[in-house]
């Protein structure tokens, strides 16, 4: 089986979160000369599979086999892996069965490596991510099996294959604000406390505001309002309270402390409650590390392009890997149709991704 055949096998298997569609069993059988450990939790399927070739460093490839629901309006069956010219269509072609196919095929073909090669796979990345990669990492830490370096094969390229790798990610802070007022008749506003009127002035100084200036690696942390609800959908009653939700994709300069201080500054003495949660924290991998240097060289050798370093976008399971003290980067095919109808990627990108990973392994000790 070559990489495109493997890729089409993965794409044609329906594996919507948290279902793996049997893919982890298939990969275990496909890599039958590797040691396999299943770390399933509830409905979530997790696989750590590894092979020690030598006494050197432990290089891990990480990813997920689960995909978001396909939705409707597709040109082709989203689980048919249909070829159309240079493209292969299907849910997960970019996010991220292309990456999984490339690194599974690479480790299968590898005969020599002065170290350990492993794969960390989950069916829980597109969901709550509670029982997926984080549980595998906990197991590996408990058993002194954590890798030294890790590549997450998420789609990272922007305009052409090879033009970008992720060397970090922003965190994500969620805010839930409740502003209390006093319900009343619209004809007697002086007898009520209208929370909509109260928030109007501070809102103009909060919405879309940068909380810091960012830096060379990260864009500024921006205060983004995602939802405001109040009232009873009638015209003659002013509301008793108002609920607002917001999100801050934070860099390393802004924490929950700064977010809370920002809200307090603008809400002042208004009667409100604020709750903050954080699902992920920002991280950045040193670009002078061996991992970054070697992936740069491999990409340039295959494509002729020197990739730029990016921290843009949402979150990935790299957010769980970095806090373990593991150097981690992300590299994969172009990211322009993920989660959309008619998601697709080219055969050449999948083949070139395989070549980049193969080159990385072959040149690791050079």
Interior CA angle at 103 toward 299 and 20, to 5°?
A: 140
Closest CA to 135 of 58, 49, 42: 42
Cβ neighbors of 89 (< 8 A, separation 6 or more) are: 74, 75, 76, 78, 80, 81, 82, 83, 342, 343, 344
Residue 125 annotated to the active site = yes
Beta-strand pair 223-230/184-185: unpaired
Which of 16, 20, 66, 343 is catalytic? The answer is 66
3-state secondary structure 267-303: HCCCCEEEEEEEEECCEECCCCCHHHHHHHHHHHHHH
Closest CA to 92 of 7, 5, 4, 31: 7
**CA–CA distance, 47 with 120 (Å, rounded to integer):** 6
Residue 66 annotated to the active site = yes
Burial class (CB in 10 A: 0-12, 13-18, 19+), 42: exposed
Burial class (CB in 10 A: 0-12, 13-18, 19+), 119: buried
Closest CA to 4 of 12, 15, 360: 12
Element counts in the chain: helices (H) and strands (E): 9, 19
**CA–CA distance, 49 with 66 (Å, rounded to integer):** 17
Which of 95, 125, 126, 241 is catalytic? The answer is 125
**CA–CA distance, 312 with 309 (Å, rounded to integer):** 9
Q: So which residues are the catalytic ones?
A: 66, 125
């Amino acid at each position: 089986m070559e990489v495109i055949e493997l890729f089409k096998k993965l794409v044609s298997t329906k594996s919507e979160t948290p279902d793996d569609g049997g893919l982890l069993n298939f990969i275990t059988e496909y890599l039958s000369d590797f040691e396999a450990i299943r770390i399933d939790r509830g409905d979530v399927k997790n696989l750590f599979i590894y092979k020690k070739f030598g006494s050197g460093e432990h290089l891990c490839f990480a990813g997920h086999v689960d995909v978001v629901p396909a939705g409707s309006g597709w040109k082709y069956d989203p689980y048919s892996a249909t070829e159309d010219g240079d493209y292969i269509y299907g849910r997960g072609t970019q996010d991220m069965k292309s990456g999984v196919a490339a690194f599974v095929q690479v480790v299968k073909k590898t005969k020599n490596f002065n170290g350990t090669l492993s794969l960390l796979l989950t069916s829980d990345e597109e969901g709550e991510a509670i029982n997926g990669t984080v549980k595998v990492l906990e197991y590996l830490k408990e058993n002194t099996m954590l890798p030294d370096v890790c590549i997450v094969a998420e789609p990272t390229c922007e305009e052409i294959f090879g033009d970008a790798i992720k060397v970090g990610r922003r965190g994500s802070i969620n805010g839930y604000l409740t502003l209390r007022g006093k319900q009343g008749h619209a004809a007697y506003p002086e007898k009520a406390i209208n929370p909509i009127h109260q928030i109007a002035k501070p809102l103009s100084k909060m919405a879309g505001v940068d909380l810091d200036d960012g830096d060379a690696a990260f864009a500024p942390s921006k205060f983004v309002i995602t939802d405001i609800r109040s009232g009873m959908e009638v015209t003659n009653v002013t509301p008793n309270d108002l609920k607002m939700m917001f999100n801050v994709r934070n860099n390393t300069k802004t924490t929950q402390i700064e977010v809370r201080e920002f809200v307090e500054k603008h809400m002042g003495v208004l009667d409100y409650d604020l709750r903050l949660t954080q699902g992920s924290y920002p991280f950045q991998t040193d670009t002078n590390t061996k991992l970054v240097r070697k992936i740069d060289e491999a990409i340039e050798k295959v494509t002729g392009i020197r990739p730029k370093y990016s921290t843009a976008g949402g979150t990935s399971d790299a957010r769980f890997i970095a806090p373990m003290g593991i150097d981690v980067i992300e590299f994969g095919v172009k990211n322009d149709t993920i989660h959309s109808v008619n998601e697709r990627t080219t055969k050449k990108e999948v083949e070139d991704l395989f070549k980049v990973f193969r080159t990385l392994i072959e040149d690791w000790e050079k």
